[in-house]
Amino acid sequence: MNEAMKKDLNQKGFSLVELMIGLVLGLFVTGVVITVFMQSKRNYNQDDEIARLQENGRYALQVMSRDLSLAGFLGNVQIADEISLSGLPTNAPCGIDWHDPSESPLNTPIRIFDADYPSCLPAISGTQVLVIKHAKGTPSSPGSDKLMLSSNGKNGSLYVSSTTSALPNTQYWEFQVHGYYIADEDNDGIPGLYRKRVVASGGSLAIAADGELVSGVENFRVTFGLDNSGGDGIADTYTASPSATDLDIAVSARLDILVRTSNPDFSYENKKTYYVGSTTVYGNNFKEIKDGVDANQGRFYGRVFSTTLQMRNMAFRIQMSNLTP
């Protein structure tokens, strides 16, 4: 027998034991790889959801706080009583009669509803509705069918513009009325921050919907600082449940917005407590509603975003109203 044949006879395959050990080791390595992959994917999804939450929270805070800071701004008119409403249409969108002094956009720059919401702002029960009224921050040109505030520096007029022509020595601002509320009007099971506006339409006043501004907003609350000392512009007391009289002397505001993620994390159970102004919200109550059924309750992350701001136009309004003729 030659050497080549001897080598062929000495070659052997794997034994059954060796094969089984190899399979076990292979399965172990595969399991480790799958576990690492799944953990990495979970971490990525978690980071992505939290990043979206933070982005949504910052944007909601930015939009609402800017609007609040402009509340009561009347262009270059110093006293609201110097503004005529004679050019304002008499129809009352959303059931609000702007010719009624108690509802006038000039006399009520801010309105808060904790219940009995206006018909056009169908908020989720237990949340708050915030209505803010002011002239736009920068002057603009008049236009056809626009809600405008015009002023010659002393007297002014709030009216629906029907022309693009401008009078000499007159400035113009678009007048804005924004209503913020929490709802789920797109029926995706997740609450969000919605906004509607009062606009001019066909020579009358109408309600226009901006739709969902920010998804995942669970709640918001505004706490107002009140100037009880007679118009020095400094908050002396604070209230989370202001009356109409309180809002007349509000000079600062703390805005708290609770935002949660839109997609559930089935490996997470939210047991946190969130303080939104004077309201307490529990993370294990976060849920989505699918076909009228609560789902994935307590499987969402959440965070409260807060800011405190001065309402300088409101303070100026108080000071001007306290001047002796």
pLDDT values of the chain reduced to their tens digit, one per residue, 325 residues: 556 555 555 556 667 776 777 777 777 777 777 777 677 667 666 778 889 999 999 999 999 999 999 999 998 887 888 888 888 888 888 877 777 777 777 888 999 999 899 889 999 999 999 999 999 989 988 888 899 999 988 888 999 988 888 888 899 999 999 999 999 998 889 999 999 999 999 889 999 999 999 999 999 999 999 998 877 788 999 999 999 889 988 999 999 999 999 999 888 899 999 999 999 999 999 999 877 788 899 999 999 999 999 998 888 877 776 654 4
Q: Are 281 and 39 spatial neighbours (Cβ–Cβ below 8 Å)? A: no
* Exposed/middle/buried for residue 195 (C-beta within 10 Å: 0-12, 13-18, 19+): buried
Q: Which two tokens stand for residue 3?
A: 């050497």
Tokens 């804005």 belong to which residue? 176
DSSP bridge partners of 174: 148
pLDDT of res. 34 = 76
pLDDT of res. 302 = 95
Tell me the C-alpha to C-alpha distance, in Å, between residue 30 and each of 16, 34, 36, 183: 21, 6, 10, 46
Q: Give the type of residue at 16.
A: L
In this prediction the pTM is 0.85
Angle at 164 between CA 158 and CA 166, to 5 degrees: 70
pLDDT tens across 273-317, in order?
A: 999 999 999 999 999 987 778 889 999 999 999 999 999 888 887
